[in-house]
Amino acid sequence: MDHAMTSATSSEFVLTRPATAPLDPPPVYSRLRDEEPITRVSIWEGRLSAWLVTHWEDARAVLGNPAFSSDTSRSGFPTFIEDSRPAPRGFFANYDPPVHTTMRRTLTREFMVKKIDALRPAITDITRELLDEMTGEKGPVDFVERFALPLPSLVICELLGVPYEDHDFFQSHSKVFVDLQSTGEQFTASWEALNSYLLQLLTAKRSKPGDDVLTRLGEHVDTGAVSERDAADLAAFLLFAGHETTANMIALGTITLLQHPDQIPYLLAGPAEAANAVEELLRYLAIVHGGLRRYALEDVRIGDVTIRAGEGVIVPLHVANRDPEAFADPDRLDLGRANARQHVTFGYGIHQCLGQPLARAELQIVLPELFRRLPDLRIDVPLEDITFKQSTTVYGVHELPVTW
């Protein structure tokens, strides 16, 4: 069956979850996945139609196929907002090869497993210091402000060589990048602000080099691999991606664990169990929930549907991760799930998350430290009083009052 002509009846793609099930994908997409796994949705208030690909296997088929472009500057590309401006080259997730390859290759060595493993003691120290500070007070405190957000911000600052004192500045601009209410103009202004900030830091590193990514990006500029402007954009991209994602994952992961207290002993059983628990939390939550966006460069058959050249595709990772054909009893959290790692939370294909070893290391350290240190941790309000981020491409909570 070919659905190419059914666009007139498609409904708007939404991110909003019901208040009764804030950790599950919108029920409408779970139903579509089971009934019509590749279907039409509209975006931009109905002005563009795109294919929604909801099965795990089909999601990997799209994301692993170079016939589906990531180049957001193409006319008709299903960008998050209609008023989207061309992304800087350093935001290489929005580019195809060869620009994507050139930009990504300047950073691949920075996120090698052995490099990230060497950071683990520093991540552990930062975690313990933040917990010391937080528990030095009488609760309730805002867990997001005191722990979930500063932790990955401190870590990415350490890795990049960015002074943490500037966190208000880069955190506020990073919020603009994930907010669906942002205009193209606001996006450009935040990008320009971060670019000039990081250009200054790059220049300063030339006279005072450190053992950090900014210093090594400066070396890539010297060899002619990337321009100075690209290097600053690459640093901005890492700074943004390095904290906005993990911060939300720490907060939502904590909420999820508190809702499944019987599974916390598994998390604490040892490093292998903690690693598997993190994979299952990544699968279950898939916080990058705006759907990965692609554009067909040629006609491609996916499942029962021919996606035509020039058509847009949306791959909602959180829906694919709950596909019963890939994961048994998919809506159940099972920290010991044998194939949890097969989730598509970090994407799939050449664009798969570069920072995944860092995200994994942070979560594998932070969550066991937190629950070992604070066995009586609890949310200080009923879950229905928590405000979830409903209009951002990265899902999370704005605040989380906790006591212990």
Partner 1 sequence: MNLKVEVDVPKCVASGQCVMLAPEVFDQRDDDGMVILLDDTPPAELHDAVRESATVCPAAAIRLAES
**Interacting residue ranges for partner 1, rule: CB under 8 A:** 64, 104-105, 108-109, 111-114, 116, 341-342, 346-350, 352-354, 356-357, 360
Least distance between partner 1 and beta carbon 141 (Å) = 34
Cα dist from 352 to 38, 63, 233, 340, whole Å: 22, 9, 19, 17
Least distance between partner 1 and beta carbon 350 (Å) = 5
**Closer CB to partner 1, 252 or 326, in the complex:** 326
**Closer CB to partner 1, 10 or 94, in the complex:** 94
Least distance between partner 1 and beta carbon 59 (Å) = 12
Least distance between partner 1 and beta carbon 160 (Å) = 17
Residues 290 and 64: their CA atoms lie apart, in Å, by 19
Least distance between partner 1 and beta carbon 2 (Å) = 28
Residues 48 and 187: their CA atoms lie apart, in Å, by 21
DSSP class of residue 308? P
Residues 88 and 237: their CA atoms lie apart, in Å, by 10
DSSP class of residue 334? -
**Closer CB to partner 1, 318 or 343, in the complex:** 343
User: Where are any strands of DSSP class E within 124-178?
Assistant: 141-142
User: Where are any strands of DSSP class E within 22-127?
Assistant: 38-43, 48-53, 68-69
**Closer CB to partner 1, 309 or 328, in the complex:** 328
Burial 95-122 (b: 16+ CB within 10 A, else e): bbeeebeebbebbeebbeeeebeebeee
**Closer CB to partner 1, 102 or 188, in the complex:** 102
Residues 245 and 363: their CA atoms lie apart, in Å, by 11
**Closer CB to partner 1, 183 or 356, in the complex:** 356
- What's the count of helices (H) and strands (E) in the chain, helices before strands? 14, 11
Least distance between partner 1 and beta carbon 357 (Å) = 5
